Amino acid sequence: MVGVRIRRAGVDDAEIIARLHVAAWRESYAAIVPREALAAMDVSDRAARWRDIFHAQEDDGASAVFLAIGEDDEPKGFAACGRQRVERVEAAGFAGEFTAIYLLGRAHQRRGLGRALMGAMAKNLIAKGLSSASVWVFRDNSVARRFYEALGGEETGIDGEWSVLGVALPDMSYGWRDISNLVAHQ
């Protein structure tokens, strides 16, 4: 992770986050999400959604978005976290949620950047009194599942499903009862 810095993102970063989001989905989910859905993703639409997310965060200090910037001043990835949004996951004992983590290009994976982003999110959640968290992942995304397992995430037994263009995509959640171990990776 040499030469990469992580900083808290704000509403002025919505366009950057949107570009990263669309590019990462198209790369990471090409074998999972219908091609038409990936092609239909629009950066300006995503930027508007991210601006809405940033404005909603103003009322909730636990929510945060982090941006990873390379030594070339180019964005390499982002991550977002906040309070648990799913009642049944919260009832299972996971007060926080890692809502997104995406790296741009396979070249940035397996270099510690994902771990550092997870650490930044964990540190933020702990500072807001949330010591446990979960994350949702497509069941067929073996790369992401191995990443979460390597960081100590355990299957919660709570599954879900996304529907994209009428195609059901099963997802599942991983959880950490104590996210303090993730901070060491920051």
Kindly give the parts of the chain with pLDDT less than 70.
Answer: 1-2, 105-111, 165, 185-186
> How high is the pLDDT of residue 71?
83
Task: For residue 73, count CB atoms less than 10 angstroms from its CB and return exposed for 0-12, middle for 13-18, buried for 19 or more.
Answer: exposed
Q: What is the edge-to-edge ordering of all strands in the sheet holding 5-8?
A: 5-8, 64-69, 75-83, 96-103, 133-138, 167-176, 154-164
How many angstroms separate the CA atoms of 127 and 153, rounded?
20
Amino acid 111: pLDDT: 66
- Predicted pLDDT of residue 70: 85
Domains in the chain, number: 1
User: Maximum CA pair distance of the chain?
Assistant: 43
> Which pLDDT score is estimated for 59?
78
Domain of 68: which CATH number?
A: 3.40.630.30
- Residue closest to 178 by CA, chosen among 95, 82, 99: 95
Q: Give the residue numbers spanning the domain of 115.
A: 5-183
* Tokens linked to 37: 């859905």
Residue 167 pLDDT: 79
* pLDDT tens digits for range 80-115: 999 999 999 999 999 999 999 999 866 555 567 899
Written as one letter, the residue type at 117 is L
- Identify the pLDDT of residue 4: 81
Side-chain-side CA neighbours of 66 within 13 Å: the count stands at 30
